[in-house]
Amino acid sequence: MNCVGSRSTWRWVLPPLGDFLILYLSLATTLLVREPSAFNLLSGMLFFPLFVAWIAVMYTVGLYELRLVREDVVLVRNLLLSAGACMMLGTAYFYATSARIDMAPKTHLVVIVALSHALVFCWRRAWLWVLKFELLDQRFVFLGDQAHLSEIERGMPHHAHDTGLSVGPWQFPGVDIVVADSLWVDQNWEASRDVLLAAMARNVPIVTLEDFYESIFGKVSPYYAASPSWALEFILPKSRGFYAIVKRAIDAVGAVVLIVAAAPALAATAVLIAILDGRPVFFKQQRAGLLGQPFTLWKFRTMSQGAEAKGPLLAADALASHVTRLGAILRRFRLDEIPQLWNVLIGDMSFVGPRPEWMKEVEMLEKAVPSNHLRHLVKPGVTGWAQVRFRQTNTVADAVERLHYDLYYLKNWSFALDVSIILKTVKRVLISDLTVDAIPTPVMPMPADASWVYDLTTTYERTYAGQGKKVQPS
């Protein structure tokens, strides 16, 4: 019990202590660069009350909830909220005190807020690595079917090796979270009541099994994926909201800037393709856009002409032999995707969203995966959540798995999630799809009308158009 108490103490002490040091480091850096004469003890004392208020803001927006530390999406969202609130507090604070100070700190606020919150993000990520989870191990109580728990535990080392989560019986102190399957709790209320009431009395967080699943695995469970009506609640309102307008503005401005900046690279790549592989330089293909409407996607050509006649999805392995030497390099570092900036500029695509599918793939997947059309409720993207969390889809089963990630994106569609995806894309570009292996997927409770999910475990056959051949997925 003493070990539990000691670990709990460090959980409360380390994060704000590190954040406080980061705030003063940001202040010192800003003053040394912008106004060296103001770098003195008086400035440090002047900012002290404001920094205390900023720590309180960070606590209020959830930056000290340990179970959220590993979630980049939530962390980015909370940091953006904190940065906005800290900026407003700082402006009000120095507006009220400006008559009594000689320096003009308002000019430094933007730099201090931006730098400190960027460092806080790095501190949260380094926190888990440096401490090696010895102080951050989190124990949870599971109220649900033990078979489901076993499947989740089997998948956690692959999906969430950095959580430090372990399951155990109710014990306080010593339990950090309660995970409850609502259906199981309804059917087993007597066995659940004491734990739930004790958790509520001691302010121990209680989360649903679905929220826990999404938090750990970064995707929507098959239960939601098999329920099209789920989109009415989680997807449609967001796809028609204010962020859609803001996102389009960011896409248009960003595309113009990047096209201008990448113009030399675009020209050089086009010349190399023309010299080494001949014409055409560009590859264009009909892809499914917003609401499934077709549009022409542009890429640099990386394959010999006529390769796409091999067919979609299941023929992906066969297409490898048609990739040119230059094309292999362009594909490895995703340089062949650069011409899609034009698609972003004219509004066919966004920087972030579900990857657009070939229209022939859509025709096939719509028959095999009834919920596949939901991923077309937002514009497709150059990069996406499934791209940074999964791999290239080569089979129908892969497409189903990708759909779970795409639905997670649609459900949590936000600026914070888009920022998180862009940050992860930089890392993902350096990783080959060949190194991303299939990982265990937990079995989750399914609705009675979800027989199509089970059907995918049996043999699925399709006929290539015009070829008369049946292909069986591996």
pTM of structure: 0.71
Note the pLDDT of residue 5: 39
pLDDT tens readout for residues 137-152: 678 888 888 877 887 7
Q: Where are the alpha helices (DSSP H) in 218-241?
A: 222-225, 230-234, 236-239
Question: Is the distance from CB of 122 to CB of 174 less than 8 angstroms?
Answer: no
Note the pLDDT of residue 378: 87
Low-confidence ranges of the chain (pLDDT < 70): 1-12, 66-70, 97-106, 128-137, 157-164, 223-233, 235-240, 305-321, 394, 428-474
Q: If one looks up domain 138-217 in CATH, what number appears?
A: 3.40.50
For residue 355, what is the DSSP state? P
Note the pLDDT of residue 228: 62
pLDDT tens readout for residues 244-257: 888 999 999 999 99
The domain segmentation of the chain, as residue ranges, is 2-131, 138-217, 237-471
Note the pLDDT of residue 458: 41
For residue 61, what is the DSSP state? T
Note the pLDDT of residue 339: 93
264: which 2 tokens?
């030399």
Cis before 280? omega within 30: yes
341: which 2 tokens?
């900036």
- Concatenated DSSP letters of 370-420: GGGGGGGGS--EEE-HHHHHS----SHHHHHHHHHHHHHHHHT-SHHHHHH
Coil vs helix vs strand at 286:
strand
Note the pLDDT of residue 287: 94
- List Cβ neighbours of 195 (8 Å cut-off, separation of 6 or more): 141, 143, 170, 178
Q: Pairing between strand 282-288 and 294-300?
A: antiparallel
C-alpha span between 442 and 148 (Å, rounded): 8
- List Cβ neighbours of 192 (8 Å cut-off, separation of 6 or more): 143, 180, 184, 185
Question: Is the distance from CB of 255 to CB of 341 less than 8 angstroms?
Answer: yes
Give how far Cα 354 sits from Cα of 217, 370, 377, 404, Å.
Answer: 18, 17, 10, 11
Give how far Cα 391 sits from Cα of 219, 402, 437, 439, Å.
Answer: 14, 8, 8, 11
Residue type, 259: I
